[in-house]
């Protein structure tokens, strides 16, 4: 048969299929609602303050703390080495390389865990991995690391061990009850600047 007719027989059905299928946007949701819900229910995205404190003290290079609060709150106090990505700017292109990668362990934190968990939900749904949430946020951080409660004498050995760990971590991190802003300044010098890494350069094309 005529080549044109043969061609038409092929491309018309293909065209119909592609026209009928919903558009793939550039930021597609990679997870279905069900998948996200089951992941959220397992709560595997949470990391305890002890884990984070440990990583900070040991200068774990994989750690990257992300403060999702506003810039003013960030400047008043932040965890050592944290970068500030306010929740409102979460999807801005400049941060895409920080949030969508598979080398560092990004840990979102906010004052409680609400905003940090929201950040996690959104980025997880976009298919990003290696993002976690600091359990209890800064409020819990203060209670456990910077101002740990001394366990009563009838507490278990583990609780004492935990208390010792927290205390030493807290001291290493400039804790002791009062937010010591001067100490935070020295920690601030280690705070990495949010390198606006140029997003994956699209191919320079054109003729």
Partner 1 sequence: MTETKELRKTRYLNPYVGGVLLGLVLLSANFIAGRGLGASGALKSTIVATMTTVAPDASERSGFVKEFRESHAGNPMKTWLVFEMLGVLVGGFISGALAGRLKFKVEHSPKITSRKRLILALTGGILFGFGSQLGRGCTSGSALSGMAVLSLGGFITMMAIFGTAFALAYFFRKNWI
Partner 2 sequence: MGPLVINEIISENTNLFLAFLIGIGFGFVLESSGFSSSRKLAGVFYGYDTVVLKVFFTGAITCMLGLLFFSLFGWVDLGLVYVNPTFLTSAILGGIIMGAGFIIGGFCPGTSFCGAAIGKIDGIVFIVGLFLGVLIFGLGYDLWDELYMAKNLGSPKVSESLGMSDGLFAFILIIIALAMFTVAEWAEKKFPREEY
Instruction: Report the interface residues with partner 2, using CB under 8 A.
Output: 4, 7-8, 11-12, 14-16, 18-24, 26-27, 200-207
Would you count residue 3 as binding partner 1 (CB under 8 A)? Answer: yes
Give the separation between CA 184 and CA 186, rounded to whole angstroms. 5
- Shorter beta-carbon distance to partner 1: residue 27 or 150: 27
Q: What is the DSSP letter of 3?
A: H
- Shorter beta-carbon distance to partner 1: residue 3 or 177: 3
Stretches 29-37, 53-61, 68-76, 199-207: which one binds partner 1 (CB under 8 A)? 199-207
16-22: long-range contacts, CB 8 A cutoff, minimum separation 24: none
Which of the listed partners (partner 2, partner 1, none) does 193 bind, with a CB threshold of 5 to 8 Å by partner kind? none
* SS3 (DSSP) at 49: helix
Q: Shortest approach of partner 1 to residue 202 CB, angstroms? A: 7
The separation between CA 206 and the C-alpha centre of its own chain, rounded to angstroms, equals 37
Which of the listed partners (partner 2, partner 1, none) does 20 bind, with a CB threshold of 5 to 8 Å by partner kind? partner 2
Which of the listed partners (partner 2, partner 1, none) does 72 bind, with a CB threshold of 5 to 8 Å by partner kind? none
Q: What are the phi and psi torsion angles at 107 (to 5°)?
A: -120, 115
Would you count residue 12 as binding partner 1 (CB under 8 A)? Answer: no
Going 84 to 86 to 87 to 92, the CA torsion angle's sign is negative
Q: Are 54 and 169 in contact (CB under 8 A)?
A: yes
Would you count residue 9 as binding partner 1 (CB under 8 A)? Answer: no
């Amino acid at each position: 048969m005529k080549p044109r007719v043969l061609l038409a027989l092929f491309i018309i059905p293909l065209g119909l299929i592609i026209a009928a299928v919903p558009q793939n946007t550039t930021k597609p949701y990679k997870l279905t609602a069900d998948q996200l819900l089951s992941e959220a229910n397992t709560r595997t995205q949470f990391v305890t303050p002890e884990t984070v404190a440990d990583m900070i003290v040991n200068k774990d290079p994989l750690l990257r703390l992300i403060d999702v609060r506003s810039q003013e709150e960030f400047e008043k106090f932040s965890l050592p080495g944290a970068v500030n990505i306010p929740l409102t700017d979460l999807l801005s292109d400049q941060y895409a390389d920080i949030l969508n990668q598979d080398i560092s362990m990004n840990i979102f934190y906010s004052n409680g865990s609400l905003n940090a968990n929201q950040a996690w939900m959104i980025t997880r749904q976009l298919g990003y991995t290696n993002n976690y949430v600091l359990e209890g946020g800064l409020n819990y951080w203060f209670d456990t690391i910077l101002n740990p409660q001394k366990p009563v004498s009838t507490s278990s050995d583990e609780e004492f061990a935990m208390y010792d760990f927290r205390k030493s971590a807290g001291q290493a991190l400039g804790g002791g009850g009062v937010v010591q802003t001067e100490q935070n300044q020295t920690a601030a010098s280690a705070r990495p600047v949010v390198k606006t890494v140029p997003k994956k350069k699209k191919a320079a094309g054109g003729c």
